[in-house]
Amino acid sequence: TELDLAIRGGTVVTAADSVRADIGIRDGRIVAIADRLEGAAREIDATGLLALPGGIDSHVHIAQAAGTGIVMADDFASATAAAAAGGNTLVMPFALQARGTSLREAVQAYRGLAEGRCYVDVAMHMIVSDASPGVLGQELPSLVKDGYTSFKVFMTYDDLVLSDRELLQVFDVARREGALVMVHCEGYDAIRFLTERLEREGRTAPYYHAVSRPEIVEREAAHRAISHAELVDVPIMIVHVSGREAMEQVRWAQARGLKVYAETCPQYITLTAEDLRDAGVEMSGAKYVCSPPPREAESHAAIWEGLVQGVFQTFSSDHCPFRYDDPAGKLTPRGRTSFRWVPNGIPGIETRLPILFSEGVSKGRISLQRFVELSSTNHARIYGLTRKGSIAVGYDADIALWDPTRRETIRQEILHHGADYTPWEGFEVVGWPVTTILRGEVIAEAGRVVGTPGQGRILDRQPR
Ligand code: URP
Ligand code: ZN
Ligand code: ZN
Ligand code: ZN
C-alpha cells in the first residue's frame, strides 16, 4: 500500500494555521497532507477532533538522584507512559551530574536508565553542578560537540549552586560551543538568610517554603543571570518563571535585544502559595512544595500576559515527582521537621497540556496556534530537534488527537505517573488528548497506554 496510516477528517493545527485535512503517514513520517487521502493500510477517523503536533515537554526530571533516603516517584517507564497519556510524544529529562563526578558518566548513566524503557521519545539535557577545570575544559565541550546542546545550571541548592564566577565560566563554554544554558534563577544567599530567620522563629510548616523564596529572590537572580549572559554574549533560557517580577526582567532583557528565552509552567497559572498551607492534615502543604513556589492569585494574570505577548516561548511541566504519603517522598523524617528538608518538586507531566489547553484555548486567552507553539513547536526549534514539533511533510508522525469539547476532571485515579497524588485533584478542564501517535503508531488511546516500553527512542541531537 501507499500509506501505512491515514488520519482522516480532523482539523490539522500547526503554529501557522488550522486546516481541515487528512494526514498520510509512511514509515513513521508524514508524507502527505491533503483534502482526501485514499489507500492506507490503516485509518483513524479524526472527525470532530484536532490533530496537533505531539506535545514536547522540554523540562522534566525523571529518575534523578534526589538525596539520601529520597526517591523520585517516576522511572523512565512510568514517566513516559504518563507523558504519552497526556498527549506528549517527546520529553527532555536531565542527566544530573553530582559534584565531583564525571559529566560524561552521568550522561551515560541516565541514558542507561532510559534505554529500552520509554514510551515516548527522549532527548537529554544535562545538569552541570561542577565547574572544575576538567569539566569546563574537556567534558562539557566534548559533550556539546556530541549533541548535548543544552544544559541547566542552578543559582541555589547546596549540592548544585554555582558561584557567579562559575556561572560566567560555564556561560563562556556555552558561547564557544554553541550551547543553550537553562538557568534556575533563585538566589542562594537570600534563601539561606530567610530560611534561617524563619526557622529561628519556629515557622517551619510547608507554607513557609513559599515565604523563604519570595519573588524578589527570583527577580534578583534572573537579573544577575541576564547580566552575566550579556557580559559573555550567550543565549540563556530562564526556566520556570513564576510571576511578574522575574518576567519583567525577561521582558527588559528581550527589549534590549538580548537572547533571553523564558519558560513557565502550569503551577504558575493555577496554584497559589495558599495551597502550601496544611489543609486539615499536618504536612499536606508538602504536596505543593516546588521551586520557585506558586505565588499569589494576581500573579496568574501576569503570567498570562507573558504567554499572550510572547515573553515566554515554552510552557513545560517541570515534572519532578515525589510520593506524598511515603517516608522516601515528601514526608521524610527530616522533612517533617522543616520545610527546608521537604524535597522540592511536583508531578505534572500528564496534566500540563490539558491545563494549558483548557485555561488557554477553551477560555479564549490564547489561540490554537499559540498553544501549539508553547506546547510543542518552540521546544523543538529552541532545543534543536529537527523533524519534531509540527505537522508537515517530512516531519516525524508525532501527533496528538484532541477532543476540544471533552470535559474531564483531573483525578489521581485516571493518571499514569508514579506519584500517589496530583496537585490538580478535582481540577476541571475542557479539552482532552484522546489519542497519541508516535512515529505513526498509536501509543495512548482513550486513557490507556497501548504502546510498548522501548518504542520511544533516545534521540541524538545535531551539534548547533
Ligand atoms: O521544585 C522543583 N522545581 N524541583 C525540580 C528541580 C528544579 O529546580 O527544576
Ligand atoms: Zn510501510
Ligand atoms: Zn529548577
Ligand atoms: Zn526543574
What grid cell was written down for 195?
530560611
> Ligand 3 center to residue 184 CA distance, Å?
4
What grid cell was written down for 40?
492506507
The cell 491533503 sits on which residue? 34
If we measure between CA atoms, which residue out of 311, 308, 175 comes closest to residue 255? Answer: 311
Average pLDDT, the chain: 98
Q: Is the distance from CB of 459 to CB of 147 less than 8 angstroms? A: no
Atom 2 of ligand 1, nearest CA residue: 345
> Ligand 2 center to residue 360 CA distance, Å?
38
Residue environment code for 419-444, b if the CB has 16+ CB neighbours within 10 A, otherwise e: bbbbbbeebebbbbbbbbbbbbbbbb
CA-CA-CA-CA torsion sign (188, 192, 198, 203): positive
Q: Which of 59, 60, 61 most suits a substitution to test ligand 1, by most atoms within 8 Å of the C-beta?
A: 61
In this prediction, residue 463 carries a pLDDT of 83
Closest ligand to the CA of 237 = 3
Atom 5 of ligand 1, nearest CA residue: 345
pTM over 0.95? The answer is yes
Cβ(320) – ligand 1 distance below 6 Å: yes
Cβ(291) – ligand 1 distance below 6 Å: yes
Q: Is the distance from CB of 298 to CB of 215 less than 8 angstroms? A: no
> Ligand 3 center to residue 219 CA distance, Å?
14
If we measure between CA atoms, which residue out of 196, 86, 155, 14 comes closest to residue 417? Answer: 86
C-alpha distances in angstroms, 68 versus 102, 113, 344, 395, 464? Answer: 20, 19, 14, 43, 37
Checking if the pLDDT of 1 tops 70, the result is no
> Ligand 2 center to residue 3 CA distance, Å?
7
What grid cell was written down for 2?
501507499
What grid cell was written down for 331?
514526608
pLDDT digits (tens, 9 = 90+) for 275-324: 999 999 999 999 999 999 999 999 999 999 999 999 999 999 999 999 99
Give 294's DSSP letter.
P
pLDDT digits (tens, 9 = 90+) for 59-91: 999 999 998 899 999 999 999 999 999 999 999
Q: Establish whether the linkage from the previous residue to 93 is cis, with ω within 30° of 0.
A: no
pLDDT digits (tens, 9 = 90+) for 216-244: 999 999 999 999 999 999 999 999 999 99
208: three-class secondary structure by DSSP? helix
Q: Residue 16: which pLDDT band, with cuts at 50, 70 and 90? A: very high
Q: In what order do the strands lie in the sheet with 236-238?
A: 94-96, 125-127, 150-154, 180-184, 236-238, 260-264, 314-315
Atom 9 of ligand 1, nearest CA residue: 318
What grid cell was written down for 438?
508516535
Name the strand (E) or helix (H) holding 211.
Answer: helix 207-212
pLDDT above 70 coverage of the chain, percent: 100
> What is the position in ligand 1's atom list of the atom closest to the CA of 320?
5
> What is the position in ligand 1's atom list of the atom closest to the CA of 61?
5
Q: Is the distance from CB of 343 to CB of 71 less than 8 angstroms? A: no
pLDDT digits (tens, 9 = 90+) for 21-56: 999 999 999 999 999 999 999 999 999 999 999 999
